[in-house]
Amino acid sequence: MIKYILKRLIYAIPILIGVNLLTFTLFFVVNSPEEVARLHLGNKRVTQEQIISWNEERGYNNPLFYNTDEKGLNAFKETIFYEKSFKLFLFEFGLSDSGRDIKYDIKQRMWPSLAIALPSLLVGLFINITFALFFVYFRSTKVDYIGVIFCVALMSISSLFYIIGGQYLISKLMHLVPISGYAHGYEAIKFLVLPVIISVLYGIGSGTRWYRSLFLEEIEKDYVKTAKSKGLSESAVLFNHVFKNALIPILTGIVVILPLLFLGSLIVESFFGIPGLGSYTIDAIQSQDFAIVRAMVFLGTILYISGLILTDISYTLVDPRVRLK
């Protein structure tokens, strides 16, 4: 098992290198650091000195890959690639363009993100699976048909409407919870309720339909017929057989996104003023702070890959066909 995990980790390295090179190309080759500086300083009447000093402050004044002014290993070290891209592998995210310590920010902000994302995931999962089982129990009847249409309608509404509508209805008209903001400790709950409700609500349409189709796929298999011929009741068949088999794709589908929960949700966090990584990313995008965006791309990739590895491990834990091979 440990060997297996090690092997998966080794496989992840070329992918991380690929992602690193891609972002490097995107951020430093497509547009030179000089052009980026010009954008930040405003286009007109920028002197060359201003640009140079802006770049110097942020360490963008070195050559891209090879520094001819330095000797030996330093010729590679004193470059943008080493400073800005390679160091990501060492989890040194450096300073943002506005001079903040990115690593510190990430450490601070990942917990509020998780505080929203995890309950949303769990509550959503519970509700979606319950609905899906309900529809599957009443499959081929009007209940199922109307339920599916309802799901399609729910998933045809943009997430923005859920957020704006929810904020307006619950916070502004009914004054149940504050519109936005965040506090630490138990105080946070009243700020978290609304975003969680809205995230769950938004996910019901697509989630229920997805789980329903998983269950339906299982229910058409032959072993269900065997179970029924044993005289098991419809609900026993649904829970003991169909649910158990469908649980494998469901579980592994969740595991893959578990690490990504730290990244939080971009729009939910920014609408509700939650100081998580999602709103951090959005702020960075809107203020064009590329250092943060680069760091988040790398972090996101690492989390995604670890999600994939966790998925494979979870397969071996839940699926006897994989476990016992």
Site for other proteins in 230-249 (CB under 8 A): 230-234, 240-241, 244-245, 248
| Contact set for other proteins, span 166-195 (CB under 8 A) | 167-168
Give, in order, the Cα–Cα distances in Å from 100 to each of 91, 116, 133, 271. 16, 25, 49, 23
- Beta bridge mates, 291: none
First to last CA, the chain: 12
Q: Please classify residue 191 by burial: count the beta carbons closer than 10 Å to its beta carbon, then call 0-12 exposed, 13-18 middle and 19+ buried.
A: buried
Interface with other proteins (CB under 8 A), residue from 152, 176, 183, 189: 152
Shortest Cβ 226–other proteins spacing (Å): 5
Task: Name which of 157 and 176 has its Cβ closer to other proteins.
Answer: 157
Shortest Cβ 27–other proteins spacing (Å): 7
Give, in order, the Cα–Cα distances in Å from 244 to each of 215, 233, 239, 240, 267. 10, 16, 7, 6, 35
Task: Name which of 60 and 290 has its Cβ closer to other proteins.
Answer: 290
Indicate whether 59 belongs to the interface with other proteins (CB under 8 A).
Answer: no
d(CA 316, CA 319) in angstroms, rounded, equals 6
Interface with other proteins (CB under 8 A), residue from 156, 174, 185, 186: 156
Indicate whether 87 belongs to the interface with other proteins (CB under 8 A).
Answer: no
d(CA 178, CA 109) in angstroms, rounded, equals 20
Indicate whether 142 belongs to the interface with other proteins (CB under 8 A).
Answer: no
Indicate whether 89 belongs to the interface with other proteins (CB under 8 A).
Answer: no
d(CA 238, CA 244) in angstroms, rounded, equals 9
Give, in order, the Cα–Cα distances in Å from 26 to each of 31, 114, 321. 8, 29, 43
Interface with other proteins (CB under 8 A), residue from 41, 125, 193, 216: 216
Interface with other proteins (CB under 8 A), residue from 57, 92, 101, 217: 217
Interface with other proteins (CB under 8 A), residue from 9, 22, 169, 183: 22
Interface with other proteins (CB under 8 A), residue from 59, 63, 249, 300: 300
